[in-house]
Amino acid sequence: MAWILIISCLFFLWIFSLCKILIPSSSPLRNSFLKAGVHEKRNVLLVIAHPDDESMFFTPTINFLTSRGHNLHILCLSVGNADGKGDTRKRELYQACAVLKVPIQQVKTLDHPDLQDGFGELWNHSLLAKIIEDEIISHSINLIITFDNYGVSGHCNHRDVHHGVCKLIYDTSQRDVEAWELVSTNILRKYSGPVDIWFSVLGVMQHSSGRMHCLVNEHCRRSFLAMAQHKSQWVWFRKLFVALSSYTYMNTLRKIKLGACEVTAPHNYMACEIN
Ligand SMILES: [Zn+2]
């Protein structure tokens, strides 16, 4: 009968954690992300690799930014054409962004021959940095959000996007642009749904310098609706993923330090040159 007790405890913990997220006044987090200039609306660029990245991984961040009036742009660096459904997936991205309250004219999708979706496709970091820099200049962007070095799922396109952003802020004149990365978690935390809020809170408390913030999802239902717009991807295991994934309920963002980019840069730039 011990297993019944364990399952009951886990169920209770799941529900309790979900309530903590859904009821803002009971949230254990007092979020100060972008509070410095409370009256200042930022021009934010979310850089993703594929259509559906925004709905599967970044909806807590997107909901946080749009609900506070920040000007969010999304740059999707491929149409996700690995299965030949690029046109469909591009259209689905715009539909998902409409659900997420991101203006369609602020969503841009690329179909560059050197930036194609796929596990075997290595993306050139210099090319990525140039494309992102152009976007920064044309929209007066002052804050970038993207994947971290592992890219949540370990997908090489996600990781290349991270290194492209690192190269941009390390190599170019865009050093006054803040860059933040979505922190990847281990597999247990990744599939712990709302329960991960407790681990996220502990993680943020260990970084009192303000370089790490946990954003809870203020509109969880909107995340499901957004992902459901990606009909070509909306199969049973992705429905399960969205329900169980901690990324549906919260995002932990960490500020990318220039020093961290300097450490990773030589290795990755060499990889680009080999490619
Ligand atoms: Zn992706």
**pLDDT at position 116 over 90:** yes
**Residue 215 and residue 31 in contact, taking contact as beta carbons nearer than 8 Å:** yes
> How many A from CA of 78 to the centre of ligand 1?
9
> How many A from CA of 49 to the centre of ligand 1?
5
Among 134, 138, 118, 117, CA closest to 126? 134
The pLDDT assigned to 260 comes to 58
Say which amino acid occupies 66: T
Phi, psi of 184 (to 5 degrees): -80, 145
Averaged over 65-69, what is the pLDDT? 93
Angle, vertex CA 190, rays to CA 12 and CA 132, nearest 5: 140
> How many A from CA of 7 to the centre of ligand 1?
33
**Residue 167 and residue 127 in contact, taking contact as beta carbons nearer than 8 Å:** no
Cα 10 → chain centroid: 27
Q: What's the mean pLDDT when you consider all of the chain?
A: 87
**Residue 46 and residue 54 in contact, taking contact as beta carbons nearer than 8 Å:** yes
Residue 140 gets the label, from left (phi > 0), alpha (psi -120 to 50) or beta, of left
Residue-by-residue DSSP string for 218-235 = S-HHHHHHHHHT-TTT--
Q: State the sign of the Cα–Cα–Cα–Cα dihedral 29, 33, 37, 38.
A: negative
pLDDT tens-digit series, residues 179-200: 999 999 999 999 999 999 999 9
Residue 51 CA to residue 100 CA, distance in Å, equals 13
> How many A from CA of 35 to the centre of ligand 1?
29
Q: Is 204 helix (H, G, I), strand (E, B) or coil?
A: helix
> How many A from CA of 155 to the centre of ligand 1?
7
pLDDT tens-digit series, residues 135-168: 999 999 999 999 999 999 999 999 999 999 999 9
Half-sphere exposure of 162 (CA within 13 A, CB side): 28
> How many A from CA of 70 to the centre of ligand 1?
24
Phi, psi of 163 (to 5 degrees): -70, -30
> How many A from CA of 182 to the centre of ligand 1?
13
> How many A from CA of 77 to the centre of ligand 1?
10
> How many A from CA of 158 to the centre of ligand 1?
6
Residue 2 CA to residue 87 CA, distance in Å, equals 52
The pLDDT assigned to 9 comes to 86
> How many A from CA of 249 to the centre of ligand 1?
18
Q: State the sign of the Cα–Cα–Cα–Cα dihedral 10, 11, 14, 16.
A: negative
> How many A from CA of 137 to the centre of ligand 1?
25
The pLDDT assigned to 17 comes to 86
The rounded percent of the chain whose pLDDT value lies above 70 is 88
Residue 170 CA to residue 228 CA, distance in Å, equals 37
Angle, vertex CA 162, rays to CA 156 and CA 241, nearest 5: 60
> How many A from CA of 52 to the centre of ligand 1?
7
> Domain coordinates of the chain in residue numbers?
41-274
Report the residue count for the chain: 275
Residue 252 CA to residue 268 CA, distance in Å, equals 24
Pairing of strands 250-255, 178-182: antiparallel
The pLDDT assigned to 270 comes to 34
**pLDDT at position 36 over 70:** no
Classify domain 41-274 at the CATH topology level: Rossmann fold (3.40.50)
> How many A from CA of 83 to the centre of ligand 1?
13
Residue 151 CA to residue 57 CA, distance in Å, equals 10
> How many A from CA of 156 to the centre of ligand 1?
9
> How many A from CA of 154 to the centre of ligand 1?
9
